[in-house]
Amino acid sequence: MKKKLIELQDENVKLRINEKKIEKPVKSCKPRTIRLESMSQELLIEEIKKLEEELDQKTNEMNEVNEQINNVRLHYKQFEESTIENCTEFNRRESDLLKCLSNLQSKSTVFNELITRMKKKLIELQDENVKLRINEKKIEKPVKSCKPRTIRLESMSQELLIEEIKKLEEELDQKTNEMNEVNEQINNVRLHYKQFEESTIENCTEFNRRESDLLKCLSNLQSKSTVFNELVIILLNVNYTMEDQSSVTKKVDEISNESVKTVDPYQRIRSLEKLLSEEHQHTLILQKHLEIASKSNISIDQNSIKQLDCKRSEILQKELDEKEEILDARDEQIADLKSRVEQMRKMNEAMRALMEKEPSEIKSQKLGTNVEITSYKKEIECMRKEMQIIRNNLTQAEKVKEKLMKDNRELQEELKLREDSIFEQDDELERQQTKRDLAQAKAAEISGASCRLSTKIAEIERLRAELNTTAQELKDTKMNRDELKRIVDQNEDTMKHLGNEVLQLRTAITEKDKMLTELHAYLKESRQNTENIKIQCENAESKRIDVEKRYEELKDRLTNKEQELKNLRKRMEEAVLMSTTTNTTTNNNSSINHTNRDSSQSDNNNNNLTNRELMLNRRGFEVDKLRRELSLTKREKDDLYIELKKLRCKLDKRHTSEERSRKDITGYLTNFNMGNTYAKAIAAQQPNTKITLLNEHINILNRTNIELKIQNESLHNNVIDYQRRYRSIKEQYEAQLEDTQKLPKVLQRFSASSSSSSSSIRPSLLTSQARTAQLENQEIILKLQNAERIINKLRNELIEMKELHATQNITAMECYRQQVELFRHRHFELEEAAEKEYKIWQDERNQLIYQAEEARISNYPDPTLGFLVRPTSKQGSQDSLASINDYSQRSFTLP
């Protein structure tokens, strides 16, 4: 029995060796078990090393992701520093982005921990491999006593190794999926960052627009402040008493300073109310002066009071007009705010519609969208707060409007009352004058007439000197105008030169466009080649899938056979136990039955030998069939390897051809001879240098524009000064004319009462003096009219020159802007196309590598070992024969 067991074990070892030869393509198929087992473990170790390399690659990829995250942080910090001054509202979005980045960092730490765990598992696997080698050596030495426990340990260790390798592959797949998720999150962060940039740009434009509106308001306020200052000057020119003058001037200066410093409309209204109260007091003081003048019978003071009242009424009307303008501006602001409120409502409605129309199908992406939803909710809350603030501002503005309307009405009523009181005072003064002029006007008016005439003559000479100075200033303005014309001519020459350069740039751009069309054609051809390669790869994959299916079917068959072998092992063990029990019983029995036992044992042995030979023959046929099928699978696998090598060669050739084409294009661009030296320099440089050159030209133009603006502003200020002087001189002259026209009428009234001798001398002298004064006044008026005409002509010429210069600058800037935008757009399109093609090629390459590795791993199945054991009884032998007959009746044809 022991000899037969040993023979059966040897036969089982030979069958295992044959199975390993069939499953693994070994060059030198020697019958030793030690080398084959060592080769299987080496392959396992190589696979483990490859898994370690893949893990290292994943760690490198994670490091690259961390570097990208750091780069995104740096770029975000730079952008944050540039937008802190103008955009304080975006701190909330910034915090959201930082939270996303912290989540990514946490994920990266989790990935690093997983990688450390994988490394620990690999170390444990290596330790287990060492233990397995030691156990195999122990098993190989005691060949004679082949116990079933060592065999079970071997089989279990290999299965564990294979299961752990599968687990590692699953973890690698999980990590690849997680890497893809991280890349998607990074892309989402970039999109959110781009949206944030666009929103900041829009807000910057709005802030610039608001700044321009504020500057306009400030300019209006400055003009109003100048009006108030002129009012103060007019009030100071009046010859009041020293006490009243000091009190009034101090108060007016304080209020004017407050009005200049403040900007809010409420403070302006308060300052105007203070001015009105002071004007009421001033009117009371003037009434007192009128009463004093009526008592002292001085007509000159009364005329000056009338003029002052008229001027004050005009000033009040101007103030009313300014308040009406303020009301109009407030109405416009309210309309703008209402339009903004409507826009904000529309935006809120659109956001609500988007929130309601979220697709129910995309449930896996909710984690990514929750962050955006929270950000949108926060934005909606901020917008609601802004809406409330705007509504409060609207209510305040409406209240201010109502107050201003009430003030306007009150001021109009006060003006009407003052006009009525002024008319009544004028009537009373005229009546008093008619009564009192008859008694006291002779001596006072005649004595004062000579003084007045002398003063008027001195004033006329002063006006002539001022006219001479104005004529000299007009000459200076003409000289400045000539200089401006010369500067404008120089600018026109520079603009022509720039136009020629622009034409040259256009020619260069057309030639570059031709080059780009050629590149597009080449890219189309490369895309077609890649599509053909994709089709070939898909065919190879389909073939590989068919082979894998066949291989899995063969694996299933082998597993079935292994189960049958295990069943036979169990029966063999039972037979051994039964034999041991029979041996013990035979020793105790008598010698009489010994002959009968020998005969029965010989019969049983003969039957067992015949059954064993039948089983071996049948299994030999099955092994031959399996060898044929495995040889076919090996051939198909070799064909697939050859096709993969061909495809790799094609990809390498295509890559080399693309690099050569790029080098040829760069060489062509460098050797491309342009007509102009400026164009050659531009073609030799990169697109960034082109943009810098255009920016330099634009800066030069901006500098010239700024200089011309400064000169125009200086000329405009000079013209305003001349106009002010002219107005002041004109007012003084008109007042003097009114006084001179009243003198002859008074003299004619009093000529009848005086004596004939005195009346014959004095009126003649006065009439001659009045006529000379009128002639001189007419000459001065004509000169002033001529000066006004010259000033108007100069003003119109300056306006025309400004408009021409502005139109030229606008056209030039638009041309430069359009060219720069076209160049940038084309550059970005080329970069995007190149990146897309590179990504497609890289994805295809990674897919091919992954498929090759899968094919390599799938070609090494799990070897399982078993022993053939003869059955112990007739029933066991019959059951085994029935199972073998059923198995042999199955079809072993390939699909």
Note the pLDDT of residue 887.
39
Name the phi and psi angles at 673, rounded to 5: -90, 120
Whether 776 contacts 499, CB under 8 Å: no
Range scoring the smallest mean pLDDT among 248-252, 366-370, 533-537: 248-252
- Residues 176 and 305 placed together within one structural domain of the fold: no
Whether 49 has a pLDDT exceeding 60, the answer reads: yes
| DSSP tag of 672 | P
Whether 24 has a pLDDT exceeding 50, the answer reads: no
Write out the H or E segment, with its range, that includes residue 207: helix 148-237
Q: How far apart, in whole angstroms, are the C-alpha atoms of residue 685 and residue 679?
A: 10
Whether 579 contacts 870, CB under 8 Å: no
What is the torsional sign of CA 366, 368, 370, 375? Answer: negative
Whether 189 contacts 101, CB under 8 Å: yes
Note the pLDDT of residue 539.
77
Q: How far apart, in whole angstroms, are the C-alpha atoms of residue 842 and residue 821?
A: 31
Average pLDDT rounded to a whole number, residues 66-95? 62
Residue 312 located in a structural domain? yes
Whether 827 has a pLDDT exceeding 80, the answer reads: no
- Of 221, 250, 283, the domain-final residue: 221
- The mean of the pLDDT values for the chain is 65
Between the alpha carbon of residue 681 and those of residues 507, 512, 674, 818, the distances in Å are 14, 14, 9, 21
Whether 273 has a pLDDT exceeding 50, the answer reads: yes
- Residues 12 and 38 placed together within one structural domain of the fold: no
Average pLDDT rounded to a whole number, residues 10-30? 53
Note the pLDDT of residue 472.
80
Note the pLDDT of residue 90.
52
- Residues 214 and 81 placed together within one structural domain of the fold: yes
Whether 308 has a pLDDT exceeding 50, the answer reads: yes
- Residues 281 and 377 placed together within one structural domain of the fold: yes
Secondary structure of residue 753 in the 3-state scheme: coil
- Of 179, 196, 221, the domain-final residue: 221
Whether 5 has a pLDDT exceeding 80, the answer reads: no
- Token pair listed for 797: 């010429």
| DSSP tag of 673 | P
Residue 712 located in a structural domain? no
Range scoring the smallest mean pLDDT among 103-117, 165-179, 501-515, 797-811: 103-117
Whether 881 contacts 616, CB under 8 Å: no
Who's near 175: CB < 8 A, 6+ residues apart? 58, 111, 114
- Residues 43 and 87 placed together within one structural domain of the fold: yes
Query: What is the DSSP code string of 798-865?
Result: HHHHHHHHHHHHHHHHHHHHHHHHHHHHHHHHHHHHHHHHHHHHHHHHHHHHHHHHHHHHHTS-----
Note the pLDDT of residue 464.
76
Of 708 and 85, the one with more pLDDT: 708
Average pLDDT rounded to a whole number, residues 4-21? 62
- Residues 169 and 250 placed together within one structural domain of the fold: no
Note the pLDDT of residue 429.
77
- Residues 156 and 266 placed together within one structural domain of the fold: no
- Token pair listed for 478: 């003409």
R_g of the chain, CA atoms, integer Å? 55
What is the per-residue burial (b if ≥16 Cβ within 10 Å, else e) of 489-508?
Answer: eebeeebeebeebeebbeeb
User: 256: pLDDT confidence band, cut at 50, 70 and 90?
Assistant: very low
Residue 698 located in a structural domain? no
Residue 428 located in a structural domain? yes
User: 152: pLDDT confidence band, cut at 50, 70 and 90?
Assistant: very low
Note the pLDDT of residue 260.
43
Residue 696 located in a structural domain? no
Between the alpha carbon of residue 431 and those of residues 28, 302, 437, the distances in Å are 147, 13, 10
Whether 165 contacts 48, CB under 8 Å: yes
Note the pLDDT of residue 104.
58
* 3-state SS track over 7-70: HHHHHHHHHHHHHHHHHCCCCCCCCCHHHHHHHHHHHHHHHHHHHHHHHHHHHHHHHHHHHHHH
Q: How far apart, in whole angstroms, are the C-alpha atoms of residue 207 and residue 213?
A: 10
Of 856 and 291, the one with more pLDDT: 856
- Residues 128 and 215 placed together within one structural domain of the fold: yes
Note the pLDDT of residue 295.
56
Whether 759 has a pLDDT exceeding 50, the answer reads: no
- Identify the top-confidence range among 582-596, 600-614, 645-659: 645-659
Residue 565 located in a structural domain? no
- The tens digit of pLDDT for each residue in 486-501 reads 887 877 787 777 777 7
Note the pLDDT of residue 886.
47
Among residues of the chain, what percentage have pLDDT more than 70? 44
Note the pLDDT of residue 822.
77
User: 22: pLDDT confidence band, cut at 50, 70 and 90?
Assistant: very low
- Residues 46 and 126 placed together within one structural domain of the fold: yes
Structurally, how many domains does the chain consist of? 3
What is the torsional sign of CA 239, 241, 242, 245? Answer: negative
- The tens digit of pLDDT for each residue in 441-475 reads 666 666 665 666 667 677 777 777 777 777 787 78
- Of 186, 221, 256, the domain-final residue: 221
User: 272: pLDDT confidence band, cut at 50, 70 and 90?
Assistant: low
Whether 841 has a pLDDT exceeding 80, the answer reads: yes
Whether 181 contacts 64, CB under 8 Å: no
Whether 30 has a pLDDT exceeding 60, the answer reads: no
- Residues 27 and 115 placed together within one structural domain of the fold: no
- Residues 170 and 66 placed together within one structural domain of the fold: yes
| DSSP tag of 752 | T
Whether 589 has a pLDDT exceeding 60, the answer reads: no
- Token pair listed for 357: 């129309």
Residue 87 located in a structural domain? yes
Q: How many Cβ atoms from other residues are within 10 Å of residue 761's Cβ?
A: 9
- Residues 315 and 377 placed together within one structural domain of the fold: yes
**Short-list 391, 375, 389, CA closest to 199:** 375
Between the alpha carbon of residue 152 and those of residues 5, 63, 134, the distances in Å are 18, 44, 15
Q: How far apart, in whole angstroms, are the C-alpha atoms of residue 886 and residue 266?
A: 108
CA angle 860, 26, 136 (to 5 degrees): 75
Range of the domain at 164: 33-221
Write out the H or E segment, with its range, that includes residue 622: helix 594-671
In the block, which residue shows the tokens 């339009």? 339
User: 668: pLDDT confidence band, cut at 50, 70 and 90?
Assistant: very low
Range scoring the smallest mean pLDDT among 300-304, 731-735, 739-743: 300-304
Note the pLDDT of residue 769.
56
- Token pair listed for 889: 């009746």
- Token pair listed for 13: 């070892």
- Token pair listed for 617: 């023959």
What is the torsional sign of CA 103, 107, 108, 110? Answer: positive
Average pLDDT rounded to a whole number, residues 80-86? 59
Residue 770 located in a structural domain? no
- The tens digit of pLDDT for each residue in 398-455 reads 777 777 777 777 777 777 787 777 777 777 777 777 777 776 766 666 666 566 666 7
Of 863 and 267, the one with more pLDDT: 267
| DSSP tag of 357 | T
Of 467 and 242, the one with more pLDDT: 467
In the block, which residue shows the tokens 């802190």? 84
